């Protein structure tokens, strides 16, 4: 890895089009054109930005949300499809890495999906939010760890998580073990209130410090008219104001440009990749500062499936089977951990390992 790189990144804070089908995609394409004119090489958009985040689910009970839920199904994104084709064309035209959140429709289910397009227009990564949060569980299905990957793009190694996935330390650690250089985080924005902005700031700066990578964070924005269209109740409207925090943070936890908490715009900064080594030479949490013989992570990285051939099913280990500790890398596939030799410290009461954990945590 060459450290001598400067990458210009943009965290986009932008309002969706809640009314016009295809309107949000038009705004994405326009924003990419604007970013390209400013020399941006990597652009990050908000969580499930296309066609829009389901704000209605936060302020209305499920019994009153049927029509809005059906409308979201109608305008959700097929992957691949017209939306991915349009964004891929812009990524290729501008030689830009693009990270976009979409409501993905897969037959009868919707998913909170993150898409990473490389500079040649290739869809480098499609991943689904592992566990929808609170009200979101009425909207989206669960993701799997098959997409919990860091991908090598033309400019850097890129990883992504959505919103409260950042409060799942195992999910973050899974990306850290893959040596992500730029972490792209997405939040809905215009949610919860000003406290959400403060929480986002703490969250992304902590991940930057812990992982030794850059964080580019994008949040959405709702106009007053859009808030009123989601709810006519002034009390509920308060729950849709604030909570925005587009920002770019260095591996040392510093803001590289002033964060944006109100209105539409872009936070743009140049990422000096030498700062990654500067941070990691002191603290590399998956390298010289790790203790994998004491603490490690097992990941079930198989794609979720509702059926498989009988012969294949018979050969698969039982899901959730107890795992013996694996003292190799800081993380590894669940199958590898399951077949690892048991630790003497974990089984021999004379070894001084009375407080050793006998099972590893399982992500996914």
Is 129 labeled as catalytic in the residue annotation? yes
Q: Which residues pair with 283 in a beta bridge?
A: none
Residue of 27, 104, 126, 129 marked active site: 129
Q: Where are the alpha helices (DSSP H) in 270-358?
A: 274-280, 310-315, 334-338, 344-347
Considering only CA atoms, which of 163, 233, 229, 170 is closest in space to residue 199?
Answer: 163
**Which member of 104, 149, 163, 213 is catalytic?**
163
How many other β-carbons are positioned within 10 Å of the β-carbon of residue 178?
16
Question: CA end-to-end span of the chain, whole Å?
Answer: 29
Strands 157-162 and 151-152: antiparallel
47 is catalytic: yes
3-state DSSP helix/strand/coil percent for the chain, to nearest 5?
Answer: 35, 25, 45
Q: Is 184 considered catalytic here? A: no
CA distance 72 to 52: 8
Is residue 214 within 8 A of residue 250, CB to CB? The reply is yes
Rounded to whole angstroms, the Cα distance separating 104 from 212 reads: 31
Q: Which residues are catalytic?
A: 47, 129, 163
């Amino acid at each position: 890895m060459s450290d001598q790189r400067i990458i210009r990144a943009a965290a986009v804070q932008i309002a969706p089009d809640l009314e016009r089908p295809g309107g949000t995609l038009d705004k994405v394409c326009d924003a990419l054109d604007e970013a390209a004119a400013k020399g941006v090489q990597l652009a990050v958009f908000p969580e499930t930005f296309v066609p829009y985040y389901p704000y209605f689910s936060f302020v209305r009970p499920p019994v009153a949300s049927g029509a809005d839920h059906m409308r979201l199904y109608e305008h959700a994104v097929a992957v691949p499809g017209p939306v991915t084709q349009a964004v891929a064309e812009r990524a290729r035209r501008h030689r830009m890495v693009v990270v976009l959140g979409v409501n993905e429709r897969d037959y009868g289910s919707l998913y909170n999906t993150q898409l990473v397009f490389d500079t040649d227009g290739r869809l480098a990564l499609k991943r689904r939010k592992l566990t929808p949060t609170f009200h979101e569980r009425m909207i989206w299905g669960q993701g799997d760890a098959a997409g919990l990957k860091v991908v090598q793009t033309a400019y850097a190694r890129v990883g992504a998580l959505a919103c409260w996935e950042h409060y799942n330390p195992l999910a973050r650690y899974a990306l850290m073990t893959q040596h992500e250089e730029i972490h792209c985080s997405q939040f809905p924005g215009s949610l919860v209130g000003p406290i959400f902005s403060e929480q986002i700031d703490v969250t992304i700066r902590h991940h930057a410090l812990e992982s030794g990578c850059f964080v580019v964070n994008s949040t959405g924005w709702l106009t007053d008219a859009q808030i009123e269209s989601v709810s006519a109740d002034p009390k509920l409207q308060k729950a849709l104001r604030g909570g925005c925090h587009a920002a770019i943070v260095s591996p040392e936890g510093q803001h590289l440009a002033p964060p944006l908490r109100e209105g539409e715009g872009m936070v743009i900064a140049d990422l000096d990749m030498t700062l990654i080594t500067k941070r990691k030479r002191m603290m590399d949490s998956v390298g010289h500062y790790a203790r994998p013989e004491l603490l490690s992570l097992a990941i079930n990285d198989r794609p979720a499936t509702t059926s498989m051939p009988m012969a294949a099913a018979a050969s698969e280990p039982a899901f959730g089977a107890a795992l013996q500790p694996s003292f190799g890398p800081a993380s590894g596939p669940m199958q590898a951990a399951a077949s690892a030799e048991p630790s003497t410290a974990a089984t021999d009461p004379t070894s001084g390992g009375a407080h050793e954990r006998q099972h590893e945590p399982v992500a996914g």
